Amino acid sequence: MSDTAQAARAVIGDSEFDRDTAVTLREPGVYGIDLSAGWTIINAVNGGYLLSVLGRALADALPHSDPFTISAHYLTASQPGPAVVRTDVVRTGRTLSTGQASLFQYDDEGREVERIRVLASYGDLDSLPDDVRTSVKPPSFPPMEQCFGPEDGPAPVSGSSAIAERLMLKLDPATLGWALGSPSGKGEMRAWFGLADGRDADPLSLLLAVDALPPTAFEIGLSGWVPTVELTVHVRSRPAPGPLRVSITTRNLAGGFLEEDAEVWDSADRLVAQSRQLARVRVG
Amino acid sequence: MSDTAQAARAVIGDSEFDRDTAVTLREPGVYGIDLSAGWTIINAVNGGYLLSVLGRALADALPHSDPFTISAHYLTASQPGPAVVRTDVVRTGRTLSTGQASLFQYDDEGREVERIRVLASYGDLDSLPDDVRTSVKPPSFPPMEQCFGPEDGPAPVSGSSAIAERLMLKLDPATLGWALGSPSGKGEMRAWFGLADGRDADPLSLLLAVDALPPTAFEIGLSGWVPTVELTVHVRSRPAPGPLRVSITTRNLAGGFLEEDAEVWDSADRLVAQSRQLARVRVG
């Protein structure tokens, strides 16, 4: 457990996630950040954490604060350490604004290397009308106490990764076969999700939630690395306080690529985010 | 029917779709095009046609030819007529290259106005390994002769739009209730899809296929305009010759926005494209 997780319940705006995604304005549209080593999986910086950093810079650069739809193309592997985010306001409108952002780090000669490029349209979730005509219900989840995380046993559920200490991740046993040597063969992964320090979810942390579970490829029976090529997230509602349920599905594994579709449900049973990523399968 | 549709079956590279998406290199990375009025729905230029134009410019600008994943944010409404596409090569790699493109038109004073901005990662579909582990089957479709298009009766299925003459679109009667005044209430739309002149599908025309059906909102019981905010397409395989089946689903209509998820199946029952768009609901 990290220090803050043992302290009182953290709040939005004053938590490890908020501190580790905080960007500093350096000049108009340009932000500095020191990427935290706290959100790494083995040695890779988590793609959802990186998207949250970019999403936060855009929230500052644009006149609207909430990412309605954000598309990221992952170019090169990010490392913990200094980075710069360059933003570009593409269009501002009354309801929506569109922006672009790139995350850069530095090579051995100090030259900028682009890590991720993002296009996004932002709006104001609180200004939307209240109509909800969602036709789907949350998937069936066992109660949280019947789900399992890295702290619950000897199974190596991301246990060696720094990010595991910062997340409350409780996997549905039905999608945990891979950790016990008997993957289900289905492209499904489901978990209760939160931040370990108790900070509630907000639109920014939803960008983390959609990319924080083990890859569905594990349950399909593949091991190895599944790097994201592109990830698009739609944030559809401000999440209610309390833990989230994240359900990820892969329907099409072909030609060495697969898609991961995530749905995120809040404690009020509302579908608060949908995402899809295209990932490469690098069989280990 | 357009002239070419009555001629012999058109082929990839020599068809109306190919001529209407052809871009002319003006200077490195910059392409000119005259947007055709032939792909309009009422007065709006179809978003899938526009994405095909941008996709074609990127195929020329990048070292790879096939859009593996392409994300478009729609900024302002395009008009038939002159336009310019500016491309930017973000990164080139062995398997994938990433590029950016923007479509511009001109205001009354001749200033450039940005219509669409796109980020995309391209590869070579023919170089992919042959493994396919798709877990889903094509949805159940009635035979094409039991499906209906604008030419089949008095129902106004896009009949007043130029694009209808260029498409072979046969809607599943189960998703045609809206045209007869009794929408099903489900967010579903399914159709057999092809080009009217008989040109077979290729990766570029898949970008058109995912955005060519009537909006699912019609079957939910809403009328009016459903403009796209963002559309991301994953092309997963080169389609086999013959008609495509396109299935579109909306699961979440909330706060005045909805998503449309499209799956495109080829004549060999292969899932060749997946897409998702976020659209605004402007009730008429």
CB contact at 8 A, A207 and A70:
yes
Question: Looking at residues A19-44, what average pLDDT do you find?
Answer: 95
Which chain A residues have a beta carbon less than 8 Å from that of B236?
252, 254-255, 257
Structure ipTM: 0.94
CA distance B194 to B200: 7
Kindly list the averaged pLDDT for each block of 10 residues, start to end, along chain B of length 284. 60 97 98 96 91 98 98 97 98 97 96 97 96 88 92 59 91 92 94 97 98 94 92 98 98 96 97 98 75
Is A277 a member of any domain?
A: yes
Whether the pLDDT of residue A154 is over 50: the answer is yes
Give chain B's domain count.
2
**What range defines the domain where residue A270 resides?**
144-283
Last residue of a domain, one of A65, A98, A126: A126
Quote the CA–CA distance of A54 and B273 in Å, as a whole number.
28
**Is A204 part of any domain?**
yes
Same domain assignment for residues A99 and A189: no
A222 touches B: beta carbon within 8 Å: no
- The band of A50, judged by pLDDT with boundaries at 50, 70 and 90, is very high
Predicted confidence (pLDDT) per residue in A109-125, tens digit = 999 999 999 999 999 99
Domain assignment present for A263: yes
**Residues A111, A233 within the same domain:** no
Question: In angstroms, rounded to a whole number, what is the distance separating the alpha carbons of residues A66 and A52?
Answer: 11
pLDDT the model gives residue A130? 86
Distance from the Cα of residue B90 to its chain's centroid: 24
> Is B134 a domain residue?
no
- Residues B87-136 pLDDT 10s: 999 999 999 999 999 999 999 999 999 999 999 999 999 999 988 888 88
Is residue A164 located within the same domain as residue A279?
A: yes
Give buried/exposed letters for B204-228 (b at 16+ CB in 10 A, else e).
bbbbbbbbbbbbbbbbbebeeebeb
Nearest to A135 among B91, B130, B251 (CB): B251
pLDDT at B153: 66
Within a domain: A133: no
Categorize the per-residue pLDDT at A131 as very low, low, confident or very high, splitting at 50, 70 and 90.
confident
> What pLDDT score was predicted for residue B154?
56
Check whether A5 has a pLDDT greater than 80: no
Name chain A contacts of B125, Cβ cutoff 8 Å.
Answer: 255
Mutation pick from A54, A62, A66, A69 vs chain B, by most beta carbons of B within 10 Å, is A69
Residue B171: the pLDDT is 95
Q: Is A257 inside a domain boundary?
A: yes
Give the three-class secondary structure for A59: helix
